[in-house]
Structure formats: structure tokens, C-alpha cells
Amino acid sequence: MKAVPSGAAPATSAPRLVVDTDEMAKLAPFLAALVATAAALRYVLSQAPLPPASCDDVSVAWMVKGSLPDAMGGRGDVLGTVKSLKVCVSEYDRLHPTWTLIVYSSVYVALQAFAIPGPLILSILSGALWSYPKSQVLIAACATSGAGLCYGLSNALSLGTFAAKLAPEKYQAFVDKVQSGTSLYPYLMFLRLTPLLPNWLINLAAPVAGVPLVPFLIATAVGQFPANTLHWLTGSNLAMLEGGDDFMKRNKFNFAIMFCVQFLALLPTLFKSKLERVADSQFASSSSKKTE
């Protein structure tokens, strides 16, 4: 055994990871709910009629990876995933239309409830499969139901603390704004229309901030309508790309509409800083009225 020189500093052990037992206690029921939902979804899929050969390589995990960027282990290929899904689902829908709606809705709601990437692909896919009215009703129902379940999970399991750790500044700004007494419907719809706060943070933080369930659901359904329309147009035009050489001639009007909608959808992102200033000024005015 070697002696430590008198001038040398004693060896220090590697820093240990400190685990918050309270957070682990909150996480355990969430993981249990996730496992139970996955088991229920697996049961639904097992009861559905067997898919055609074009669906051999298609799965929920494969679709989720299509939504994730390369840095997170995904493929980062949303449109390519939609095209592959269309080949599979369109044939399945022709054979089993009722089961197509059941599987589509079940997967959409489950992913939305646990903030798992994938609903964007399903929203675009709806435009490649169904008419605009049917698609909008279906997406609104699935997206709102999934957001409501996420709200319920956060309220029951106190998941807002995880949102506070992942995005503390945005989380606190949202809570302060809601608790300042601002009008909930305009503010929540404003958030759904703009990129100021991610949807998962709104879903998790809403019950902590004191947002009632009914205004939350109504604002979600109405506020996501423009984005849902853009997703439908994207899927519809992807489907029409298979229409032949006269595609451009027959669909100039659709492209014009899609360009206008996409341009409008980009405006909130382009003017994000101005939107933040508007939100801050409204927050300041509502706070001053409350103190008076």
C-alpha cells in the first residue's frame, strides 16, 4: 500500500447521482399508466383484422421514430413516413373501414395523452385518406381527447413539476399569466395558435395553474383548427402527387390554397418576438387591474 504524500490532495470519489424520492414516487404511477395504456392499445391491435402485406414493416414504434430527429434516434422523415403509411392504411381502410377508424383513433389518443411524438404524422395522414369534414372532426376529437387525458394525468399525478423542470421559465410565465386573472379562452386559443409554448407544456401545466377542464378542452379544439387544416392540406396534396402527369394542371388551385395556409401558419413564428411582447403587455395590464 502506497503512502499518500503529505502535500498531495486526498483522492475524491466520483459524484453520486442524487435521486429525488418524491419525484420518483410521482413518476411510478405515470409509468404504470403508460404500461397499462400500452397493454390496452396492444389488445385493440390484436383484435383488429390482420393487415395486408403492405403493412409488414409498419408499427407504432416505426411511426414514432419517423417523427423523431436523428439526434434522438429517429429518422426525421415525417413526409416519407406519411407516404409509407398511406400505402398501408389506404388498403386496410378499403377492406376494414370501421377498424381503421378504431385503430387510428386509439393510437392518436394514446400518443397525445402521453406527449409521445406521432400525432403530427397521423394528422397529415388523415388528409391523404379522408375528406376534409371527416378528417377535421376525427382529428379534433382525437387531439382534444388526448390533451384532456394528459390534463387528467397531470392533475391526478402532479406532473406539472416535471414541466417546471424541463422548461422552468415558460412554465412559470404560463402559471403567472393564468393566475393573474386573464381571460382564459382568448389566452389559451392564442397559445394553441402560436409557437410561444409547446402543447405538451400547456397540457401538463394547465391543471397546476388552475385552468378548469371545460375551457381547456374548448380552447384546444378551437385553437388547433388552423393547424389541423394545414395538416389536412399537406396530406391531401401528398396523395394527389400520385395522380399522374396532369397533376399540376388539375391541382393548381389546391397548391395555391396550401401555399396561402402555410404562409399564414409561418406568420406566428416570424413574429414570435412581437407576440411575446403583446402577451407580456397584456399580462402587465391584467396584473395592474387585479391589484387595483
CB atoms within 10 A of CB 2: 4
Mean pLDDT confidence for 91-103: 95
pLDDT digits (tens, 9 = 90+) for 228-245: 888 898 888 888 766 554
Single-letter residue type at 290: K
Q: In this model, does residue 290 exceed pLDDT 50?
A: no
> For residue 3, what pLDDT band results from cuts at 50, 70 and 90?
low
pLDDT digits (tens, 9 = 90+) for 191-224: 888 777 888 999 999 999 999 999 999 999 998 8
pLDDT digits (tens, 9 = 90+) for 122-150: 999 999 999 999 999 999 999 999 999 99
Q: In this model, does residue 33 exceed pLDDT 70?
A: yes
What is the rounded radius of gyration, in angstroms, for the C-alpha atoms of the chain? 23
Is residue 150 within 8 A of residue 112, CB to CB? The reply is yes
Mean pLDDT confidence for 27-35: 85
- CA distance to 116, 149, 150, 172, per residue, from 158 (Å): 18, 13, 11, 15
Tell me the average pLDDT of the chain. 80
Q: Please classify residue 91 by burial: count the beta carbons closer than 10 Å to its beta carbon, then call 0-12 exposed, 13-18 middle and 19+ buried.
A: middle
- This prediction has a pTM of 0.78
User: Can you give the residue ranges of every domain in the chain?
Assistant: 37-45+54-286
Least confident of 62-66, 69-73, 210-214: 69-73
Higher pLDDT, 28 or 113: 113
pLDDT digits (tens, 9 = 90+) for 244-274: 544 444 455 555 555 565 555 555 544 555 5
Q: Residue 21's pLDDT is what?
A: 64
For 6, the grid coordinates are 503529505
Q: Residue 157's pLDDT is what?
A: 86
